[in-house]
Chains A and B, each alone.
Chain A
Amino acid sequence: MKKVLIAVLPLAVFVTLVVLLYVNMGTHSERLPSPLVGKQLPVFKLNTLYSGKTLTQDDFKGQVWLMNVFGSWCPSCRVEHPVISDLAQSGVVKVVGFNWKDEFVDADRWLKQFGNPYDEILVDLKGDVAIDFGVYGAPENFLIDKNGVIRYKLVGNLTPEIINNELLPLIKELNQ
């Protein structure tokens, strides 16, 4: 009995490990839950990239909007760009860009090359406001309701699946 146990134990440990690793394969533990979901937007005052305005969190009240953190230096943002463009074009939600730590010339070149899907673009050259938003890796997406409360945050690329399964139902709910 004991010999059998000793023989089987390493195999059992191995199988358990494989199962655990397999189960966790799909979960991205590097994507952290944001403590800001359910909270009011942080206070900010940022210049826009093109329109020459200075906007604060209050300028967006009364509508549901998506804030997309991007930078011309960010390869994943290029991958996400067509998805964001489709979403913005569909008109379901107002899409605002948050240009993070990017020089104007670089951002401008990037947007001219790939197209500008954004309704408005906030510029955070130094990255101070990004810290208040808990941003740590572009692209990041925030969905904000009519009262200025952050309802959803995604670190990483928006995909058509995520938009259909998570974002669109939430937008519908928030618009009611």
Chain B
Amino acid sequence: MRKVLLLLLFVSSAQAIEVYSFETAEQEALYQAVTKELRCLVCQNQNLADSDAGLATDLKDKVAAFVIEGKSQEEITQYMIERYGEFVSYQPPLNASTLFLWLSPLLLLLIGGVVLVMKIRSTQHD
């Protein structure tokens, strides 16, 4: 009995997620990919897929409609960027203002490498 209840719980929660009826598995996959790459602007450290904010729901409706229309991921992302700016995308483009963002991991690696080399050399001298 408990197992059945548990199963029911899972089934109902799975149905709650699938609110859009896509015709193909590709459309569904595209929808998932796009909403994972777009930021929810209300709760800015969440993506659209994970967010339940009112605006996120509106934007997800929009994405689903575009997917069904046959628009590509680039077209949908571009649509959002035109309205909400680059910030809406979790894939920031490489330009002057994001250069530091893209290069900072490399910079950190470089600093770490230099420290490491210095450390090794000093122990070898001792």
Residue of A nearest to B59 (CB): A131
Q: Kindly state whether residue A11 has any CB partner on chain B within 8 Å.
A: no
Q: Which of B1-9, B25-33, B78-86, B99-107 contacts A (4 or more CB under 8 A)?
A: B78-86
Contacts of B83 in A (CB 8 A): 35-36, 131-134
From DSSP, what is the main secondary structure of chain A's interface residues?
A: loop
Contacts A30-B44, A32-B41, A131-B62 given; indicate if A136 touches B55 (C-beta within 8 A): yes
Q: Kindly state whether residue B87 has any CB partner on chain A within 8 Å.
A: yes
Q: Kindly state whether residue B75 has any CB partner on chain A within 8 Å.
A: no
Q: Kindly state whether residue A127 has any CB partner on chain B within 8 Å.
A: yes
Q: Kindly state whether residue A33 has any CB partner on chain B within 8 Å.
A: yes
Q: Kindly state whether residue A115 has any CB partner on chain B within 8 Å.
A: no
Contact of A33 among B58, B59, B62, B85 (CB under 8 A): B85
Tell whether, in the assembled complex, residue B87 and residue A32 are in contact, meaning their CB atoms are under 8 Å apart. yes
Residue of A nearest to B122 (CB): A2
Q: Kindly state whether residue A34 has any CB partner on chain B within 8 Å.
A: yes
Tell whether, in the assembled complex, residue A32 and residue B62 are in contact, meaning their CB atoms are under 8 Å apart. no
Contacts of B70 in A (CB 8 A): none
A106-136 CB mask vs B (1 if < 8 Å, else 0) is: 0000000000000000000011101111111
Tell whether, in the assembled complex, residue B58 and residue A131 are in contact, meaning their CB atoms are under 8 Å apart. yes
- Give Cα A133 to B85, complex, Å: 11
Contacts of B84 in A (CB 8 A): 32, 35, 134, 136
Contacts of A151 in B (CB 8 A): none
Tell whether, in the assembled complex, residue B58 and residue A35 are in contact, meaning their CB atoms are under 8 Å apart. no
- Using CB atoms and an 8 Å cutoff, list the residues of chain A in contact with chain B: 30, 32-36, 101, 126-128, 130-137
Q: List 6 A-B contacts (CB under 8 A).
A: A32-B84, A126-B58, A127-B54, A133-B83, A135-B55, A136-B42
- A30-B44, A35-B83, A131-B62 given; name 10 further pairs at CB < 8 Å: A32-B41, A32-B85, A32-B87, A35-B81, A35-B85, A126-B58, A130-B58, A132-B83, A134-B84, A135-B55
- Using CB atoms and an 8 Å cutoff, list the residues of chain B in contact with chain A: 41-42, 44, 54-55, 58-59, 62, 81-87
The 3 closest A-B pairs by CB, nearest first: A136-B41, A134-B83, A35-B85
